[in-house]
Amino acid sequence: MTETTRLIARREGAQGWLILNNPARHNALSLEMYEALGQRVDDFAGDPEIRAIIVTGEGGRAFASGADISEFEQKRSTPEEIARYDGLSDAALLKLEHCEKPTIAMIAGYCIGGGLDLALRCDFRIATKESSFGVPAARLGLGYGFIDIKRLVDIVGPAYAREILYTGRRFTAAEALQMGLLHRVVAAEELPGAVGALAETLAENAPLTIRAMKRCIADAVKDRADRNTEACRELVEACFASADYAEGRRAFMAKRKPVFQGR
């Protein structure tokens, strides 16, 4: 297991927090941070007490400024090293993207390049008014892969994706909200409360239902040939067979808030 002080994982009730802890470099993502991220996502995914996962950056100046380019000469300079680096980082990010539990990116400050890619793997993105966004690959000569571009296109559409990728410029939070990159933009002092309220709502709702919905949404944006509608159907049927469904019916009839157990 990768141990690093540059990624902090903590539990707060039903919330699992993943905190990028490299503020001196605007939370630039090192390879060890990527690996630790994937491992901690696995930990939270396997914990039935955790109902929502929040990803954020330490220090308030940056969510993540991208990959730590200072590592590239040593760890990403040959085709073999690039393949290894990309394989390890992609595996970690896919764990976050495919996690069955709802995920929230809590964004303050810079959210650039690999940092934006990390945020796009989350189900929700809430940012401060001062946050800024961009993909500077065209300014660095970096290749930007099809899957990452498709993810961006799925979220903002091809027109905005062209503007983001071709120009490589920074966008304000207001522009990112208009594009559909963000769900909400709030004042800096309101960010913890806004994220906490969303996480609390998610924690109170039925975990099995959210799991089924998340899988169905993920398959809906795939090409038809790649969809696993049978797996989606089984997850939906599991909701109707669950104790939580019975609890939801009882709570509705009794006009009380349901208490879901994920069973």
pLDDT value, residue 74? 67
pLDDT of residue 81: 79
Residue entry with tokens 């946050």: 131
- pLDDT tens per residue, range 56-96: 999 999 999 987 777 776 676 778 878 888 888 899 999 99
Six-digit token pair at 147? 């899957």
Indicate the pLDDT class of residue 2, thresholds 50, 70 and 90: low
**Strands of 103-107's sheet, edge to edge?**
7-12, 15-20, 52-57, 103-107, 124-128, 184-186
Q: Tell me the C-alpha to C-alpha distance, in Å, between residue 240 and each of 91, 206, 243, 254.
A: 33, 11, 8, 19
Does the predicted model carry a pTM greater than 0.85? Answer: yes
Class of 7-202 in CATH: alpha beta
pLDDT at residue 1 above 60?
no
**What per-residue string of b and e applies to 157-188 under the rule 16 or more CB within 10 Å gives b?**
eeebbeebbeeeeebebebbbebebbbebbee
Distant-in-sequence, close-in-space partners of 199: CB < 8 Å, separation ≥ 6: 14, 15, 51, 52, 54, 104
Q: Where in the chain is the domain with CATH 3.90.226.10?
A: 7-202
- The two beta strands, 7-12 and 15-20, are antiparallel
pLDDT score, position 3: 63
3-state secondary structure (DSSP) of residue 120: helix
